[in-house]
Structure 1
Amino acid sequence: MSKTMDLPVKLAGYIEETVGQAWEKELASLLFSYLPEEEVLRVKKSLIFAANAHGDQSRDSGELYITHPISVAVFLARWKMDASVIMGAFLHDVPEDTGISLKELSQIFGEEVAFLVSGVTKLTKMELHPVGHKQAQNFRKLVLAMAKDVRVLLIKLADRLHNISTLHHVKSEERRRRIATETLLIYVPLAERLGMYEVKNLLERQAFSMSEPHADIAIREHINYLRADGGEDIDSIVSALVKICTDSGYGSAEVAGREKTPYSIWRKINAGQLKVTQLSDILAFRIIVEKEADCYAVLGALHKAYRAVNGKFKDYISSPKPNGYQSLHTVLNLQARSHRIEIQIRTKRMHEQAEHGVSAHWIYKEQASLSSKDRMKWLESLSYVAENAVDARAFEIDSRLELYEDEVFCFTPRGDIVCLPAGATPIDFAYAVHTEIGDHCVGSKINGKWSNLSDVLENGDEVKIITAIDAMPERSWVDKVVSGKARTRVRQAVQKIDLLAYQKKGAVIWRKFLVRPVFLGVKRF
């Protein structure tokens, strides 16, 4: 059968032309490259259905609305997502924008596709209200949808990728900034946590210029100044790094350089970590080698050639991030220039994982590993927060804590690695190990020495938690923990303790009332 099959359903002429061109130009070749023919037919059926449903609806750009689900599907097809996901992409706006129900979609395309569409539909109207309940409640839906099926989030990320690329067509400046800010606060961190750095970079680059246009311009101007004043450009540094690799016996290493993004710089400035005038390390370089052992060998060669900046080395190969990211990170001071450069060293397989994250499991047909508890543990943690937060505002605060913090790696006495947000305390550690341990902890030892429960943990600390069966969380712990899960549990416990106290006080008052003396002939009852 031809891969450019005739459209099975008659569409209006200009809609048929748009859909037909999209199918033949990119979709057909992409889908046939990894899906069986019968699944491609199902996918195409959903495309035609969506095109009919949306009809002549248009976007702010003036284009037919169907061009949006087509673009979303193209992103997902490039990631080699399964047929149900591609169908969900075509249909994801049908229930919201047409009179067709999820029940009808389920009857036509099956429960799995309807479930994915339902998950995306719940997220579509998410609006940014930093202190309001609506944002927190919608974000709760997002997390619960992720916990049930991460493919819902992948469709939403693809949806946001296309929407942010066409955001300049939106006439309202307030709406543009709201969507851009929402992208930076929610979707960029989620893409990063899923290890999808290519998606993260695309989202943040386009969203930041609309969310903080003045800051974006100021940072770019300073980067241009540093570029002109830096002495050496990216190409010359790449050549120097290639020579070091070649002289060390790793001539096949791939070396690439880039400038850091204005958004990543702005975050450090906004957090008070530096000023624009203090900015020096705007260049980052990536070295890709064949084997894991080569990573460490090249690192040694670099540290021999250039002076390493103390405290900037990170080994994410032996201790991967929760999203599976692996790489060696170091920062060097080049002899020929005063500016620092950041170096990342990884294997080809690590690089594919770093760029594509969760979607790499579909690309490389390793879907079974997607359910790895270690790799997706952060989703379970967010799900716990979503289901157990005392109120919507508390959920919003706690879940954002789970999204933004950098990690610190600590060990249990048995040698198990526990990954926590930077700034975590032994209380956070206890709750990460088990909720009951957190509820009943009374003390801790860090590296064999007694410590306060409020002490801040550092990378490599071995932590032992001391518990007592009658111990309960303290109210002051709310301000001592940094992980969302711990804060949610402590709030719950404090609320329960307060309730018991009120009940006890009420019982005392009631007993006093029952035994009060009888005055003026009034009988006691």
Structure 2
Amino acid sequence: MLTIDDILNNFKLPLTVRRESLIMGAYKFAAAAHRGQKRKSGENYIQHSLETALTLAKIGMGSKTIAAGLLHDVPEDTSVTLSEIEKNFGEEIAQMVDGITKLGKIKLRESKEEYILENLRKMFLAMAQDIRVVIIKLADRLHNMNTLEYLPKDKQLRIARETMEIFAPIANRLGIGEIKGQLEDLAFKFLEPENYKYINELEEKYYLEGEKYTNQAIKEIGKELASEGINVIEISGRKKHLYRLFLKLKRKDMDISQIYDLVAIRIIMPDIPDCYETLGIVHKKYHPMVGRIKDYISLPKPNGYQSIHTTIFGPEGRIIEVQIRTKKMHDEAEFGIAAHWIYSEKERKGWRDYFFRKKAKVPMEELEWVRQLREWQNDIGRDDFEEFIEGLKIDFFKNHIFAFTPKGDIIDLPEEATPIDFAYSIHSEIGSRAMGAKADGKIVPLDYHIQNGQVIEILTSRENKKPSSDWIRFVKTSIAKTRIRQQLKRE
């Protein structure tokens, strides 16, 4: 059973008297409001509030967010009003609690697209206004998924599907890998119980078989690094999340011998030069697999993920993936956008500089995709459900790549995006005037699928030119489709 001490002991920022007082005050207020209430699991309701707050503390959130996490169900499930919360804890915390309450109003039912649409719209709006509301909602959902077995079967399926279709992708887009992985695995368990059981047993079997080789490699790599005088923060093994393993197996015809990262070694280093030096030492000790080295430090994933991945032939030729990253990169991979609180504190900047216009605001580039989605929703109107859902599948749910302008600016695009998508991502005028394109200096057709990391140059007409109606057939991004339609209508 959790206590408030568990939250305080896991608080990542310096625990000042003021912060501790705020968290303690919110806990006592919530405990009094929920007194006598039980969850379907039979446990006291306050345990859910504490579980939500513990997740927030572990990912490095601040005292106000944790206070809002403790209070998040009070106006909805007790006689205490939002105005009482504002009176006791201030407007900022009350607004977060109100935001969480509003996010809970619409539930995903059956397959009606309008429910998906409305729920996603609410999430996007909440993200653009105060990202902390969505992070609290993710922590709330994580504990609800851990106790889902106590609900009726129909509710289990609805909540699991909502988690898989809405909450896990949002956690992924915010870069909170640990929460995303847990949410997917928990939803997978209820949505596909037979596959879940099979994958779980398969992973356990192969993990146990490979564990001795992994442990031997960890020991030998650690010894090599020590002999070279390189300081290592941590070196450990990790298992792949079950749902991610299932998806990968489906792509490999369910042949587990084709999965090279079932067990991975993770090496956490003090700084970036150490990461590259460690890569050289690992390759000196074990032969790398050709074509399996990925440098996400120099070219991060669109959600900010940074790490070096290499696949080696380990002890007795066993294939093992090795991930090398700094502590900051590791925290950002696990906690995503939430890690800004920890590192802004360490860099002696106010976390307010990051997260709100008036009080604290996430850097604009961090949530550029939220801004674009909101603009696009306004452009297509509120009633075009089919186009909105189809666009979401591409803009939001699909994997993303990076491409570069000739000047080195990074453009974030969905997989299979074309030079026309790239052009419209820069400016609608460049899009409409596009006549040709180069990828890494070579001429490519306008419907070419851009590859991650390519430099794309758009060749434009000097004169005003309207886009081709044929472009609608092959462009992928919603912004390109919308701008092309708008420009064609004007003619």
What TM-score comes out, normalization by structure 1 length? 0.80
DSSP-derived class of the 2:323 partner: strand
> Partner letter of residue 337 of structure 2?
V
Q: Is contact 1:322–1:376 with CA below 8 Å preserved after alignment?
A: no
Provide structure 1 residue ranges, at least 5 long, that are not aligned to the other structure: 1-17, 502-525
Q: Are 1:437 and 2:418 counterparts?
A: no
Q: 2:242 aligns with which of 262, 284, 297?
A: 262
DSSP-derived class of the 1:297 partner: helix
CA RMSD of aligned residues (A): 3.1
Structure 1 residue 230 displacement after superposition? 5.0
2:266 is aligned to 286
DSSP-derived class of the 1:307 partner: coil
CA–CA separation in structure 2 for the residues paired with 1:300 and 1:26: 41
CA–CA separation in structure 2 for the residues paired with 1:31 and 1:228: 34
> Partner letter of residue 437 of structure 2?
S
2:337 is aligned to 358
CA–CA separation in structure 2 for the residues paired with 1:323 and 1:461: 18
1:343 is aligned to 322
Structure 1 residue 420 displacement after superposition? 2.2
Q: 1:471 aligns with which of 460, 465, 474?
A: 465
The correspondence of residues 119-518 of structure 1 with structure 2, limited to 5 A, is: 119-124=99-104, 125-127=106-108, 129-130=110-111, 132-170=113-151, 172-227=152-207, 232-250=212-230, 252=232, 254-270=234-250, 272-281=251-260, 282-334=262-314, 336-337=316-317, 339-364=318-343, 365=345, 367=351, 368-369=353-354, 371-390=362-381, 391-468=384-461, 470-482=464-476, 486-491=477-482, 493-494=484-485, 497=488
CA–CA separation in structure 1 for the residues paired with 2:193 and 2:431: 44
CA–CA separation in structure 2 for the residues paired with 1:456 and 1:334: 36
Judged with a 3 Å threshold, the aligned counterparts in structure 2 of structure 1 residues 175 and 444 are, in CA distance, closer, same or farther, namely: same
What TM-score comes out, normalization by structure 2 length? 0.85
CA–CA separation in structure 2 for the residues paired with 1:116 and 1:416: 35
Q: Which has the larger radius of gyration?
A: 1
Q: Is contact 2:266–2:324 with CA below 8 Å preserved after alignment?
A: yes
Deviates more, 1:131-140 or 1:470-479: 470-479
Judged with a 3 Å threshold, the aligned counterparts in structure 2 of structure 1 residues 43 and 425 are, in CA distance, closer, same or farther, namely: same
Deviates more, 1:287-296 or 1:152-161: 287-296
CA–CA separation in structure 2 for the residues paired with 1:348 and 1:159: 26
Structure 1 residue 145 displacement after superposition? 0.6
Provide structure 2 residue ranges, at least 5 long, that are not aligned to the other structure: 356-361
- Count of residue pairs the alignment pairs up: 474
Judged with a 3 Å threshold, the aligned counterparts in structure 2 of structure 1 residues 91 and 454 are, in CA distance, closer, same or farther, namely: same
1:62 is aligned to 42
CA–CA separation in structure 1 for the residues paired with 2:368 and 2:376: 13
DSSP-derived class of the 1:454 partner: coil
> Partner letter of residue 70 of structure 2?
F
Judged with a 3 Å threshold, the aligned counterparts in structure 2 of structure 1 residues 246 and 29 are, in CA distance, closer, same or farther, namely: closer
CA–CA separation in structure 1 for the residues paired with 2:128 and 2:23: 25
CA–CA separation in structure 2 for the residues paired with 1:33 and 1:297: 31
Identity %, equivalent residues = 36
